[in-house]
Amino acid sequence: MAAEVIDGKAFAADVRGKVADHVARLKADHGLVPGLAVVLVGEDPASQVYVRNKGKQTVEAGMHSEEHRLDADVDEKTLLDTVARLNADPKIHGILVQLPLPSHLNSDLVINSIDPAKDVDGFHISNVGLLGTGQKSMVPCTPLGCLMLLRDRLGNLSGLNAVVVGRSNIVGKPMAQLLLGDSCTVTIAHSRTKEIEALCRTADILVAAVGRPEMVTGDWVKPGATVIDVGINRVPNGEKTKLVGDCDYASCAEVAGAITPVPGGVGPMTIACLLANTVTACCRANGLEEPAGLTA
Ligand SMILES: Nc1nc(=O)c2c([nH]1)NC[C@@H]1CN(c3ccc(C(=O)N[C@@H](CCC(=O)O)C(=O)O)cc3)C=[N+]21
């Protein structure tokens, strides 16, 4: 039996619609326009496409969008000054510094210089600590998007076995925290995990976030499981390249109950959640009620 395809692209459009509705209400009732600033260091072409998409969707949702481009060899002080100016700017409610940064820059230092209230990526240590202790925080966009898809598909997640493959600070760890918050039994697997296939086969929810193209195959999947593929890997395909996930889609889809495709799965949800977090940040900054269904 083939798995149901979880249409992240359609779900993300729905989320963006809710965001746009809320933005319209903020404008009409309070004269507020949520603003998002994206800081991009260097000229990585893949990052540029992604930043352009974010800017476009931000404007389409009725929000204010700014891009701040800095040279690849920018010094740390200039970058920190840029962040400091955005922290102080009342038009800006969300700040995203595109990662990875060039290696001469200390990304922990830069991320932790963002005002936690404007940290729409949820990467500031203060937000990480709040999430880990179950307190209100800014929640990282990709894990938040995955959680929305899982709740939509499965309803209550309580008591389900979840295995997260990958232990990054941007996806694996916050994903595990969110699943724990929804009362799953959570295991984080990684490159040193023993008998990883057998462990993954215990998962009702399997989240693949390792950044290794097509690593998870159908024999890792419990029949009927929900598989969330966070990977976005560009691999050679004849003369061109193609986008594949961390899951081998064909074999996983034969076994899973439901699976997210790549592209069109988690990726669009990440951007939708970035917009949602910007609206949430704007509401919190102004002491207003937060949008329902757009936060964890
Ligand atoms: N501070 C920071 N926050 C981020 O959230 C962040 C970042 N840095 N650095 C780069 C990665 C990458 N990322 C993507 C989000 C959506 C798609 C996306 O929408 N992908 C489409 C396909 C796009 C295509 O065709 O290339 C899809 O999966 O359907 C891709 C990549 C966010 N990132």
- Ligand 1 within 6 A of 141 CB? yes
| 167 is known to lie in a ligand binding site | yes
pLDDT band, very low/low/confident/very high, at 230 (cuts 50, 70, 90): very high
> Which residue among the candidates 115, 121, 182, 246 is catalytic per the annotation?
121
Per residue in 156-196, pLDDT (tens digit) is 999 999 999 999 999 999 999 999 999 999 999 999 999 99
Range of the domain at 85: 32-117
State pLDDT tens for residues 258-281. 999 999 999 999 999 999 999 999
Instruction: Say what the pLDDT of residue 27 is.
Output: 98
Same domain membership, residue 204 and residue 164: yes
DSSP string across the chain: -PPEE--HHHHHHHHHHHHHHHHHHHHHHH----EEEEEEES--HHHHHHHHHHHHHHHHTT-EEEEEEE-TT--HHHHHHHHHHHHH-TT-SEEEE-SSPPTTS-HHHHHTTS-GGGBTT--SHHHHHHHHTT---PPPHHHHHHHHHHHHHHS--TT-EEEEE---TTTHHHHHHHHHHTT-EEEEE-TT-TTHHHHHTT-SEEEE-S--TT-B-GGGS-TT-EEEE---EEEEETTEEEEE-SB-HHHHHHH-SEE--SSSSHHHHHHHHHHHHHHHHHHHHTT-PPPTTS--
Same domain for 101 and 161, yes or no, is no
Residues 164 and 250 in one domain: yes
Ligand 1 atom at minimal distance to the Cα of residue 53? 19
CB distance 295 to ligand 1 below 6 Å: no
Closest ligand 1 atom to 97 CA: 1
Q: What is the CATH number of the domain that holds 109?
A: 3.40.50.10860
On whether both 146 and 233 belong to a single domain, the answer is yes
Residue 93 in any domain: the answer is yes
Number of compact structural domains in the chain: 2
Q: Does residue 161 sit within a domain?
A: yes
Q: ipTM of this model?
A: 0.98
CA-closest residue to ligand 1 atom 15 = 267
Shared domain for 157 and 246, answered yes or no, is yes
- 101 shares a domain with 155: no
Residues 149 and 106 placed together within one structural domain of the fold: no
What CATH number is associated with residue 187?
Answer: 3.40.50.720
Does 26 reside within a domain? no
Q: Taking the model in full, what pTM does it have? A: 0.98
Among residues 54, 118, 173, 222, which one is catalytic? 54
The answer on whether 191 is annotated among ligand-binding residues is: no
